[in-house]
Amino acid sequence: MSQHPTTLRYLDPVVASRLDNMEMRARMIVEGFITGMHKSPYHGFSVEFAEHRPYNPGDELRHVDWKAYAKTDRHYVKQYEEETNLRSYIVLDTSDSMRYRGQAPVTKFEYGAYLAAALHYLMVKQRDATGLIAFDDTVHTIMPPKSTNSFLRQLLLKLEDLTGQPGTPRQTGAATALDSVADRIARRSLVMIITDLFENVSQHDDLLKSLRHLRYRGHEVLVFHVLDSKTERQFSFPDVPSVFRDMETGQEVTLHPAQLRENYRDAVRAFSERFRVRCREYNIDFVEIDSGSPFDAALLAYLNKRRTLT
């Protein structure tokens, strides 16, 4: 994507964090994204918003938008949820590890919430039904998909509320939570998971099985793996003895970053590659996201996925 100052101004998580509320953040991120697409090689993607469709013989007259007729002298029918192109859920990890910021301008959780808000906004404006599921060690929020503007406001208010809540000492329970999600979603949907994948090492196989469970139930799956790249992927800490604390267990260890950096980077690369390969085997899209980067890569990944489903 071409990098334009006006676009980046809207897509930058620093700017998003300074806006007053989640609705404004979502709108500015999406508008900046669309502006950038129009100036980039990706302008061919469909991001048109539609509130109505043309009237067809046989449509009930009570669904005709007479206000639109008065303005345009044409008959349009209001679109309703059952006429949407796609049903989707955004599954957001709210565990304590997501409260980590590192060298990024916002925490992984704030980044994930802003991304979720932008995706909800984009989908509703495209007349797609979208819902929200949030989890830490268990699923604690479920909002089934709808495609109305009033429901969009409810989603954005919920995300605003979640980001305003203080962190609680809860560990990630992604494997168990995603199994629960697979069992709860009855209709075939696009499931977009925003998480740092910080599960206990012993649970990694279970986490991969839970992703496969979602596919087995017929859902399309897109995983956004959100990390602060500088510290969590590159281990770029000052080369002085430092105390590192696990945000979920409180366990602390003192070490010199330089002594561990190479082995740490190798371990993170191996971890990410394992998930990428296994997800590819399950026909799951796996996208690495830097919590310090603009939101365009994630939104483009969503549009890529959407284009293959419609």
| Cα 164 from Cα 110, distance rounded (Å) | 10
Averaged over 10-15, what is the pLDDT? 83
3-state secondary structure of 109: helix
Tokens standing for 133?
Answer: 């599921």
Q: Which of 63-77, 112-126, 145-159 has the lowest mean pLDDT?
A: 63-77
Averaged over 127-153, what is the pLDDT? 93
Q: Give the pLDDT confidence score for residue 82 in this predicted structure.
A: 44
Written as one letter, the residue type at 169 is P
Question: Which domains, and CATH codes, for the chain?
Answer: 52-79 (no CATH), 82-309 (3.40.50.410)
pLDDT in tens, 31-71: 888 877 765 544 444 455 455 566 676 666 666 777 766 76
Query: In the block, which residue shows the tokens 């509703």?
Result: 124
| Cα 180 from Cα 257, distance rounded (Å) | 38
pTM, full prediction: 0.84
Q: Which of 155-159, 197-201, 273-277 has the lowest mean pLDDT?
A: 197-201
pLDDT in tens, 281-294: 999 999 999 999 99
DSSP 202: G
| Cα 21 from Cα 19, distance rounded (Å) | 6
